[in-house]
With several copies, the nearest count.
Chain A
Amino acid sequence: MTAGRTARGDTATLVVGVDIGNSTTEACVAELGVDGPRYLGGALAPTSGVKGTAENVPGVVKVVHEALSAAGRSADELATVLVNEATPVISGLAMETITETIITESTMIGHNPDTPGGAGLGVGTTVAFAELADCPPGEPVVCVVGAGVDFEDAAAGIDAAVARGVAVTGAVVRADDANLIVNRLSTPIPVVDEVTLVEKVPLGMPAAVEVAEPGRTVRTLSNSYGIATLFELTPEQTRMVAPVARALVGNRSAVVVRTPHGDIADRRIPAGTLTLIGEHSTLSVGVDAGAEEIMATLRRVAPLSDATGESGTHVGGMLAAVRDAMTETLADAPDTHDSPDAHDAPDARTGGQDVRIQDILAVDTFVPQHVTGALAGEFALENAVALAAMVRTSRGPMEALAEQIRAALGTDVVVGGVEADMAVLGALTTPGTERPVAILDLGGGSTDAALAMPGGDVTSVHLAGAGDLVTKLIDSELGLENRELAEDIKRHPLAKSESFFHVRMEDGTARFFDEPLPADAFARVVVLGEEGMRPIPTRHSLEKIRQVRRSAKHKVFVVNAVRALERVAPGGNLREIGFVVVLGGSALDFEIPDLIAEAVAGSGIVCGTGNVRGSQGPRNAVATGLVAEHAAGPR
């Protein structure tokens, strides 16, 4: 290290480039000599406070010191700190559930107990177990066994009724007793058990109980004409019962009760409307129209100047919150209006209350919700729309911040060039890249892209929706209600603990352990996080969790990558882009860069994760770009 310094002579000056990101502040130390910058190292730390505000100072001081000490240099050798423009970005997420499933008159039971009993189909009038003894012979009945009835008594009671000539064709049971009962009957019947609200099953009504063989699903009750056959329904009645059949598709066991007005409804919940104000036109779209319609409306009004959501809805609240947060940030900044950034859209004005939503990403998702009126705690996957919105100023209150960093570090602080330009400069230190190059900066709140053409022109775009939205989708689609676990699932592969001594990885390989695994992980899906295996407390299969994880990444990042590249590419033509360099925290993900590379592979693009300075991976591009720009001298 000392040799290096001496070789360059005393003319070398020590600089640190600092990139204040929304989530992460990164630093890059370099020595500037006659033959360009010599990079000595870097550091990174969580950003303190909202990007672009005075709160950032502690984070900046921390990374500068860490970077210097990692490079073996002391603070008093430092000549200049270069800071990026740090334009504040505020993003928000909201979710609206747009469907609701309601069962009326306890028409059906569509849950999947682990151990239903018997196999086949039984049809008859529902009779409470206590009344079974009073049933006249001949009549086919379905027996409803409430709480507190012992399985031996239940079996004996049913067998006695059958001996008297009562055709007991099936049973619905409160306890987890189906096989215990069936095993004790002289003739097995289909039994659906673990029906928690069994006391609500309507009595004296025609009903059908179906249980399929293990590994199979019901065939009759999931078929509208099957139900029509059993209950001799008219075409009109069959039309009414069709939603019941559809809800039962895929279940191993089911009960359908024929009540006068029984129904199952898939209601669409009217969600709020979203008003998208374009430069040339304004259009409104109902959130319940779904993501595709919202995004199509967005394209129709593009470029977007602002958006508002109906007040009293989640969307309205979210857009207002994003706007308020930005207003508050800017209120702290006396110098908001200096030097508007030529690279940004002209609508991104930041004066006082004049904060405008710059982009919106709508994503179709689903949320598992309890079915209203269900008798056995059934869930339905209700449709929902998740929205990400973003506000970004053209330039933050940088001078005040620079002044405070200057005071804290006691060195010269220079506010560097345009962030997108810096990111491109940093990205181009990745081996194997050249202009035309596009960067995709996949952060937590926003997906940013910039394209640098051979001439040096840089076009950039900032889109709503990134890593935090992926985490939120994983959390809600799996019904975890645990964002931190969702973040772990996002970042790490899954496994299933198959015995006390081995787990099976999601790629099918097995791994043996010398020490017995904890009993509470047994037969569970676990996420292989940094702190070892973490059981996921749901009953979703490994494949299901994997598919939710990958589709969330696809819905956010593949969609945004294509949107962003189409916006920066000349004439929207991706073939004009030679290289795509993926950067940012979400580029560290183990599958997001591959998903993006696959999506753009058709366009003849070389796409990969950045490797800034040949060593930093997808991190440190802006910090490195600041140094490179500074080293090149004033343009």
Chain B
Amino acid sequence: MSVADRRAERARRQPPAVVLRHLGEPGTVMRDLCAGLEEEGVPVLLETSEPATAESRPAQAGAVAMAFAAAQASTLGVGIGVDAAAVCVHHAKRPAASPVLTADLTQARWCGHNAARLVVGLPFKQRPGTTGERMEESWPHS
């Protein structure tokens, strides 16, 4: 069994969680991602990817491929990949090349929220900087 396989095996024995794979040391990007997931109440499992595999691909494909692999490893079917330039959220049931969403590193917090919302079936949060949707809530009148 390869390292990746053993890791997948381990993940299966863990409590259900979104899997987050990233290059190098956890920094503020990872902190933001985890914060988004924690605020939504969905657990996350951090794993460092070997830079070797990731660096041989272009930046975004790195995040996408990592996210897809992470999604396969996640008992919840949701994975996040982070490379030097991008964050990607993926779902195990989607085609590998068609991730749920990708964003630059400044939008990590938003990605974390939406990875969690993917798990519990809530509509995604509006991407920061886009216009808000109408009617978050409303009080009845009489």
CB within 8 Å of B: which residues of A? 99, 101, 110-112, 114-115, 151, 176-180, 183, 247, 250-251, 266, 366, 368, 371, 377-383, 478-481, 498-502, 504, 509-512, 514-516, 519-520, 522-524, 537-540, 598, 601-602
Contact = CB atoms under 8 A, between A and B. Distances in A.
Contacts of A183: 38
B137 A379 contact: yes
B142 interface: yes
B138 A519 contact: no
Interface in B18-51: 35, 38-43
Q: Is chain B's interface secondary structure helix, strand, loop, or mixed overall?
A: loop
A524 B118 CA distance: 12
Given A379-B136, A480-B134, A101 B142 contact: no
B135 A539 contact: yes
Given A266-B141, A381-B138, A516 B119 contact: no
B142 A598 contact: yes
A178 B118 CA distance: 20
Nearest to A520: B124
Contacts of B16: 501, 514, 516
A498 B118 CA distance: 10
Contacts, number: 125
A177 B76 CA distance: 24
A191 B116 CA distance: 20
Contacts of B15: 514-515
Interface string B80-119: 0000000000010111001011000000000001001111
B58 interface: no
A183 B76 CA distance: 23
A177 B93 contact: no
A251 B135 CA distance: 14
Given A368-B134, A479-B134, A501-B76, A539 B140 contact: no
Contacts of B40: 114-115, 179, 512
Contact of A180 (B38, B121, B133): B38
A479 B134 CA distance: 7
Contacts of B43: 514
B138 A512 contact: no
Contacts of A381: 138-141
A537 B122 contact: no
Given A180-B39, A266-B141, A502 B121 contact: yes
Contacts of B118: 522
A602 B42 CA distance: 44
Interface of B: 15-16, 35, 38-43, 76, 91, 93-95, 98, 100-101, 113, 116-124, 133-142
A383 B142 CA distance: 8
Given A378-B139, A479-B134, A516 B120 contact: no
A537 B41 CA distance: 25
Contacts of A366: 141
A247 B94 contact: no
Contacts of B38: 179-180, 183
User: What are the 9 closest A-B residue pairs judged by CB atoms, nearest first?
Assistant: A510-B120, A379-B138, A523-B123, A479-B134, A502-B120, A112-B137, A380-B139, A368-B138, A519-B100
A245 to B, nearest CB: 12
B135 A538 contact: yes
Nearest to B101: A519
B129 to A, nearest CB: 15
Contacts of A511: 41, 120
Given A250-B139, A381-B139, A479-B135, 18 more contacts: A110-B139, A111-B136, A112-B137, A151-B35, A179-B41, A180-B38, A368-B135, A378-B139, A379-B138, A382-B141, A498-B121, A499-B93, A500-B94, A516-B16, A522-B100, A523-B117, A524-B123, A537-B134
Contacts of B140: 250, 381
Contacts of B101: 519
A123 to B, nearest CB: 23
Contact of B93 (A151, A378, A501): A501
Given A502-B119, A522-B118, A598-B142, A115 B136 contact: no
Contacts of B142: 266, 598, 601-602
Nearest to B124: A522
Given A115-B40, A602-B142, A510 B94 contact: no
Contacts of A502: 119-121
B136 A377 contact: yes
Nearest to A383: B141
A183, A501, A601: most-surrounded residue (chain B CB, <10 A): A501
B123 A101 contact: no
A523 B139 CA distance: 23
Nearest to A480: B134
Nearest to A508: B122
30 contacts: A111-B137, A112-B136, A112-B137, A114-B122, A115-B40, A176-B39, A180-B39, A266-B142, A366-B141, A368-B138, A371-B139, A381-B141, A382-B141, A383-B141, A498-B120, A499-B93, A501-B93, A504-B120, A509-B122, A510-B120, A512-B119, A514-B15, A514-B43, A516-B16, A516-B93, A523-B123, A523-B124, A537-B133, A540-B135, A601-B142
